[in-house]
Structure 1
Amino acid sequence: MTSMNVTCLNSCSIYTSEWDTAMNKLYTYFYLIIFIPGLLSNTLALWVLCRFISKKTKAIIFMINLTIADLAHVLSLPLRIHYYIQGQWPFGSVLCLLCFYLKYLNMYASIAFLVCISIQRCAFLMRPFQAKQWKSRYDVCISLAVWMVVGLGCSPFILMRKTSGNGTECFKDLPMQKLDFRLAISMMAAAELFGFIGPLVVIIFCTCLIVNSLRKRIQKEQSTGNTRKALRMVRVCTGVFLFCFAPYHINFLFYLMVTQCIITNCEVSRAIKQFHPISLCMASLNCCLNPLIYYFLTTEFKQQLASQGSSVLRGRLMSTESTSSYRE
């Protein structure tokens, strides 16, 4: 790093002990809030979705993989909470990098599977005859390919970090490897293009196709429940995508410009740096929002929950009646 860059970063620095304490509290409280809902909702979703794995036209396999990605991140949250409370990492550098890696793996795997869900619902709506010939193993193969591509694509996030000498620092406190400016720009551009802009274009395109199809069918008075459900599915995918991932990816471009001293205005630099952890928290929120897709937009999911709830209620009523008759 040149002396000019060092001067630029130091003159607009916000990293004080007060700022560090505030960030630790932000991460701690946020992860505590989303841990229990994320764990319960995704565990329940995984159990219910696995019961309908044969529903090949409902994107069930993609939803299962999306749930697995969310659970992987949720299960790492207790270690993150421990670090931000205690201020030290006692679990070794390998586990530190693994937890760090899982956050970005969850983010980009979620993006990829939201795209897969949107494409499949749109394609099956446009060509229903092909949906009948579609095999579940095709979804399995696509899912395996997604995991391989996303897994390799997220590897630079840990390769660019280096563990501290004493091994007590992790996550936001990990120092960044020094990279050539052109290489850093190329990597970030690729991440933005393939991890955000491309998926966003695909999801919006699917939404537009389904909206046009719905309008045509309404005009012909041929609108069906499947058409409206597909539209709701893609719209919710778009909403979750934009709310969770757009703030991070938009801000990260400016964050990179700040670190490279392309943006030198101190007020703007501080605002960008301060919003960076907030955008990361918003990205983590997807592990709680994704189950809403399964519950509100998958008929079988709601039916299964309703049947399980009614069976439990019947069991309790029968138990109460038997106990009352015994007492009488």
Structure 2
Amino acid sequence: MAYPDKYTEIFKMGSNSTSTAEINCNVTNVKFQYSLYATTYILIFIPGLLANSAALWVLCRFISKKNKAIIFMINLSVADLAHVLSLPLRIYYYISHHWPFQRGLCLLCFYLKYLNMYASICFLTCISLQRCFFLLKPFRARDWKRRYDVGISAAIWIIVGTACLPFPILRSTDLNNNKSCFADLGYKQMNAVALVGMITVAELAGFVIPVIIIAWCTWKTTISLRQPPMAFQGISERQKALRMVFMCAAVFFICFTPYHINFIFYTMVKETIISSCPIVRIALYFHPFCLCLASLCCLLDPILYYFMASEFRDQLSRHSSSVTRSRLMSKESGSSMIG
């Protein structure tokens, strides 16, 4: 299949990321992924920026009661906002097929993508676990301190930030070629020990363990609805917790499950461990779709805040009502002065 000159140039620019298996299987999937990435990021940017900015502002300013996983929601919103702010550069590159900025900025944007994904996974897991734990152990919830959530969040940022460093490092080859970025970055081959270690940590800590925790929280929260409610804990509180856990599970499975299923095959294709052409084509074809689904969490997470956190809705409604009353009073006072 013949490509226009600009796609041929991009393919040459990204030749360092092309494995032997891709060449042998005659994989030429460059053209569609540029339009897919550009379209997806354009659709996500404005709604994601507005929703996460508003959510972060409301969560930080209007919620004085920092329990019920509010601290984790704030950190989740920060993670989403960091990725959203890098989208204009991604959109520019996938439309123009040219990177005019510093190489370090490209690797930073590349790094923020994976930082957002794994930080979101951790904070979604923490939200599910805390809501479930507080529902099952309400007396322990009364003694829980806000600084515990702050400490856990700080630990997550440090651990996830460090664990995501290999992603840009593996793609930082051919540093003299400043025209390519993102999907066209080169790929460094790893030795067997490093490869097994990276796949194990990414799949176990970033997918398997969170899946088990979220599934357990969903199961325990569902069972709690069948038990008689306590005097200070009505059935509505349990239903709110169940909706929260279900929403976390939905975001997790929609956005992150496809990527981690395909991640093993994609990495082994890049390392030329897998050479079967059907698997090579499937892994490379679905990789862009999986990354786009992962970015979709920037739109789904604000839905989690608004529809699942009663405090968020209450404070947002109160703020809207107060603004409306202020405007009406100012209009009335202005009319009386004129009259």
Q: Under a length normalisation based on structure 1, what TM-score does the superposition of the two structures give?
A: 0.90
Give, in angstroms, the shift of residue 311 of structure 1.
3.0
Matched, 1:83 2:83: no
Give, in angstroms, the shift of residue 321 of structure 1.
5.0
Select the residue among 255, 258, 272 that pairs with 2:266: 255
User: In structure 2, what is the Cα distance between the partners aligned to 1:71 and 1:294?
Assistant: 14
Select the residue among 6, 18, 33 that pairs with 2:43: 33
Decide whether the 8 Å contact of 2:21 with 2:274 is kept in 1. Answer: no
Select the residue among 122, 131, 142 that pairs with 1:112: 122
The residue aligned with 1:226 is 237
Greater displacement, 100-109 / 185-194: 185-194
User: In structure 2, what is the Cα distance between the partners aligned to 1:157 and 1:6?
Assistant: 17
User: In structure 1, what is the Cα distance between the partners aligned to 2:64 and 2:196?
Assistant: 44
Give, in angstroms, the shift of residue 32 of structure 1.
0.7
User: In structure 2, what is the Cα distance between the partners aligned to 1:202 and 1:62?
Assistant: 16
Give, in angstroms, the shift of residue 272 of structure 1.
2.0
Greater displacement, 134-143 / 252-261: 252-261
The residue aligned with 2:310 is 299
User: In structure 2, what is the Cα distance between the partners aligned to 1:163 and 1:6?
Assistant: 14
The residue aligned with 1:45 is 55
Decide whether the 8 Å contact of 1:53 with 1:61 is kept in 2. Answer: no
Give, in angstroms, the shift of residue 179 of structure 1.
1.0
Paired residue type of 2:76 = L
The residue aligned with 2:257 is 246
Matched, 1:215 2:226: yes
Select the residue among 294, 298, 301 that pairs with 1:283: 294
Q: 1:300 to 1:6 in 2, by over 3 A?
A: closer
User: In structure 2, what is the Cα distance between the partners aligned to 1:290 and 1:123?
Assistant: 21
The residue aligned with 2:171 is 161
User: In structure 2, what is the Cα distance between the partners aligned to 1:324 and 1:53?
Assistant: 35
User: In structure 2, what is the Cα distance between the partners aligned to 1:63 and 1:46?
Assistant: 9
Partner secondary structure for residue 274 of structure 1: helix
Paired residue type of 2:25 = C
The residue aligned with 2:3 is none
Matched, 1:188 2:196: no
Give, in angstroms, the shift of residue 275 of structure 1.
0.8
Decide whether the 8 Å contact of 2:256 with 2:293 is kept in 1. Answer: yes
User: In structure 2, what is the Cα distance between the partners aligned to 1:48 and 1:217?
Assistant: 34
- Structure 1 gap ranges (5+): none
User: In structure 1, what is the Cα distance between the partners aligned to 2:313 and 2:158?
Assistant: 32
Paired residue type of 1:240 = V
Give, in angstroms, the shift of residue 38 of structure 1.
0.5
User: In structure 1, what is the Cα distance between the partners aligned to 2:321 and 2:148?
Assistant: 35
Decide whether the 8 Å contact of 1:62 with 1:117 is kept in 2. Answer: yes
User: In structure 1, what is the Cα distance between the partners aligned to 2:96 and 2:74?
Assistant: 34
User: In structure 2, what is the Cα distance between the partners aligned to 1:291 and 1:134?
Assistant: 25
The residue aligned with 2:209 is 198
Q: 1:241 to 1:261 in 2, by over 3 A?
A: same
Structure of higher RCO (CA pairs closer than 8 Å, 6+ residues apart): 2
Give the alignment of 1:44-63 within 5 angstroms. Answer: 44-52=54-62, 54-63=64-73
The residue aligned with 1:235 is 246
Matched, 1:12 2:25: yes
Decide whether the 8 Å contact of 1:163 with 1:170 is kept in 2. Answer: no
Partner secondary structure for residue 171 of structure 2: coil
Count of residues in Structure 1 that have an aligned counterpart in Structure 2: 319
Decide whether the 8 Å contact of 1:88 with 1:168 is kept in 2. Answer: yes
User: In structure 1, what is the Cα distance between the partners aligned to 2:133 and 2:157?
Assistant: 22
- Structure 2 gap ranges (5+): 1-17
Paired residue type of 1:68 = V
